[in-house]
Amino acid sequence: MNDVILLKLGEIVLKGLNRRSFEQKLMNNIRYRLERIGKFKVTLMQSTVYVEALDEGADMDEAFEALGKVFGIATLSRAAACEKDAQSIAELCISYLRREMLSAESFKVEAKRADKSFPMTSIQLSQYVGSALSDAYPDCRVDVHSPELTVHVEVRDIAAYVHSAPTQGAGGMPLGSNGVGVTLLSGGIDSPVSTYMISKRGVRLIPIHFFSFPYTSQQAKDKVIELARELCDYCGRMTLEVVPFTHIQEEIRDKCPEEYFTLIMRRFMMRIADRIAVSNGAKAIVTGENLGQVASQTMEAMAVTRAVTQLPILQPLIGMDKEEIVRMARKIGTFETSILPYEDCCTVFTPRHPKTKPHIEEVEQLEAALDVEALVDEALSGIERIRIGYGE
């Protein structure tokens, strides 16, 4: 009996002539994710990826957990394989699913016959296996409408596979299949979630953090590094770009009206993000903005902020409730780190009465008091780059 993990493809199956490139991205991502766990054989056939251990050191439990965070996979199943023979399949179901059958009060069998040369139809195979299971476990009744346990049998090209209910995968598109972007990563709840959501659409991201030492602490910077590590479970290897932002904020404080501090600060962030994106071949900027959540996230304020870049601004959280964002943060494992009490640069020199409905002309006039290009160049020259890989 061979233990195997079955991975069912998600949206990739809807692709046309370019489907092969998406599949190749997914296979590369799977192999990379398994590298540190052990040696595995990874095969793609009939919209299913088969993962088999090649030595005793390959931990199938750890592999299953890791593959549950790989984008592009719809469902995962721990399965056992046997030869394509009805009696062998029934015997495997009886032995492999013993624990599930003993704990369930009702069951049904769902068979799929991908190999059309198999002599039984799917219905015939379901009935055959179901009868064998009923004889072996008489206390577990058959219920084809609302069973507590569904036994899955798949007859495929190489072998037959038996498993219980599949586990939902990460979904989305394979990481890297939709290009590269940059993402603004603060220490809050929202930006890690927005990073995750755009990564799920197949975008490989470069996180950017604006650091204002000594107004923000080393603990605040360490917090963001930890968030990036946690995101690596889904987003893969990343290089965190830590941008020194103190001088820019001090210049804004000294030369601009208080109510415009946040607006002008965010325009600098966008300018810097735009330059980093272009230098890395990235095609979009990702932010965690949420309409109306704070003063800088009104429609007027966001229009003024985005006016300094030509790249598209992707805002996956724009219409979400805060409760939805918090639920997602808990799901992906970033919430507890995000709520640590170390504040980022967005809390530095916060205006008492921020401008919520600015006009771009007046903001541009106020920025004339600043040497914008010199400040941006200075910040870019002082970037600290921190490489963060999966499992580190």
Q: Is the CB of residue 141 less than 8 Å from the CB of residue 106?
A: yes
> What's the confidence (pLDDT) of residue 102?
97
> What's the confidence (pLDDT) of residue 391?
61
DSSP character for 111? E
pLDDT tens across 24-76, in order? 999 999 999 999 999 999 999 888 999 999 988 889 999 999 999 999 999 99
Reported as half-sphere exposure (CB side, CA atoms, 13 A), residue 337 has a value of 25
Name the more confident of 292 and 124: 124
pLDDT (average), residues 163-188: 95
Helices (H), the chain: 19-34, 60-67, 86-96, 98-103, 122-136, 190-199, 218-235, 246-255, 261-279, 299-306, 322-332, 335-338, 360-367, 372-381
Mapped onto helix, strand or coil, the DSSP state of residue 369 is coil
Which token pair is 288? 């965690």
pLDDT (average), residues 214-227: 94
> What's the confidence (pLDDT) of residue 200?
97
pLDDT at residue 92 greater than cutoff 80: yes
Q: What are phi and psi of 211, to 5 degrees?
A: -120, 125
pLDDT tens across 233-286, in order? 999 999 999 999 999 999 999 999 999 999 999 999 999 999 999 999 999 999
> What's the confidence (pLDDT) of residue 86?
96
pLDDT at residue 354 greater than cutoff 90: no
pLDDT tens across 112-153, in order? 999 999 999 999 999 999 999 999 999 999 999 999 999 999
Report CA Rg, the chain.
Answer: 26
Q: Is the CB of residue 22 less than 8 Å from the CB of residue 174?
A: yes
What is the DSSP code string of 89-105? Answer: HHHHHHHHTHHHHHH-S
> What's the confidence (pLDDT) of residue 157?
87
Q: Which residues of 177-199 are buried (b: 16+ CB within 10 A; e: fewer)?
A: bbeebbbbbbbbbbbbbbbbbbb
Report the percent of the chain where pLDDT is more than 70. Answer: 99
pLDDT at residue 1 greater than cutoff 60: no
> What's the confidence (pLDDT) of residue 225?
96
Taking CA atoms, 201 is separated from 29, 53, 72, 94, 179, in Å, by 14, 29, 9, 40, 10
* Number of other CB atoms surrounding residue 325 within 10 Å: 23
Residue 224: pLDDT band (50, 70, 90) is very high
Report the percent of the chain where pLDDT is more than 90. Answer: 87
